[in-house]
Amino acid sequence: MKKWNVEICDVTLRDGEQTPGVSFSAEEKCRIAGLLDSVGVDVIEAGFPVVSKNEAACVQKIVDLDLDARICCLSRALKDDIDCAIRCDIDMVSIFIATSDLHMKIKYKKPREEVLAGALEMIEYAHDHGLQVRFAAEDASRTDLAFLREMYAQGAEYGANYVSYADTVGCLTPLEMSRIVDDLLTDLSIPLCIHCHDDMGCATANTITAAERGAYQLHTTVNGIGERAGNASLEEVLTAIRFKGGVDRYDLSHLLTLSHAVSEASGIPISKTKAIVGEHAFAHESGIHIAALIEDSSTYEYIHPALVGGQRHYILGKHTGKKAIAHILRSMGHDISEAQICWILDQVKSRGENKCSITHDLLLSLIHQADSEVAQ
């Protein structure tokens, strides 16, 4: 397997906080930043400091944590924005302009050449003040590729260290992303960043596709939170680049703790079926599955739960088999007969078919009832 050449820029503290109704306190931001650093995330986008004095103070507090990760913040192509970023003592500034004809017409009301010229001046200004610069194209996925190539080339000439491609409205599919990255990388002299939104459910897939095709910096948020339907999910991207790209330098064992911390701080619950971190990500009910898992967990688990800080769970219900019941009961310390196991299994299936959850207390009750029921 050829190892992919990538790094992660997590944008939970900026784009993730743009989720409607979400606002992180300074303490929550610092805790999340610390956990991201424990995972080994390369770049943390700490915020958009020009938004408010409090936002700038939060960015400064994250810088003051002296993490291993480089700290980045967002900036429009305006001197006041960049001066605010400089005062926060960050490592990298992401200077963005909207690049599609639609956005140019509605937001700037200027020709693209004039918008680009102003942005290039700000790249040079930030570069001259010692910052790494990421030159970002907002709504890149609806922008003429020839203009993007020219924009990126000029950005590099003016001192940009990275250029960024944003699928701002989440309109791409993986095949489209593959073709676009191939096109952009044909004559690009600096690393390409990919920033995907999930409006069509393709953000993680598009990010992984871009990485496989040669994109370098991958943008993510924890639990995939963000504007509208959210962004590419950190936990999914990290797991995918481990298994598909051979990238093993990140400590995935912190992912569940990080996911819960962001869920608590954001107030957004994690779906039970969410990949990697959902309650059911490593839960099994099917009797056929559990019987095989008992022998060899790789039969029905591509990812070992412990790798990402999770645990395997066997769920009892209408699909449960006898081997699963016997295994669970013995793991609980109960040595019961074949007849008792069969009776309990019948009860579990009957209740499962009637949408009754088999709780720990209910299972204990069935175990106690099994003695008398089988004896009769």
Q: What is the pLDDT of residue 358?
A: 67
At CA 333, angle to CA 361 and CA 313, rounded to 5?
60
Q: Which residues contact 318 (CB under 8 A, 6 or more apart)?
A: 348, 349, 352, 353
* pLDDT tens-place string over residues 15-26: 999 999 999 999
**pTM, whole model, 2 decimals?**
0.90
**Topology of domain 7-266, per CATH?**
TIM Barrel (3.20.20)
25-29, 175-179, 356-360: segment of lowest average pLDDT: 356-360
Q: What is the pLDDT of residue 342?
A: 79
Structure tokens that stand for 5 in this block: 């050449």
Q: DSSP of 22-79, one letter per residue?
A: ----HHHHHHHHHHHHHHT-SEEEEE-GGG-HHHHHHHHHHHHT--SSEEEEEEESSH
Q: What is the pLDDT of residue 324?
A: 75
Contact 8, 238 (CB under 8 A): yes
Q: Which helix (H) or strand (E) holds 192?
A: strand 192-196
Q: What is the pLDDT of residue 321?
A: 73
At CA 279, angle to CA 273 and CA 285, rounded to 5?
80
Closest CA to 249 of 9, 8, 60, 72: 8
State mean pLDDT over 75-85.
Answer: 96
The full set of domain ranges for the chain reads 7-266, 283-375
Contact 121, 114 (CB under 8 A): no
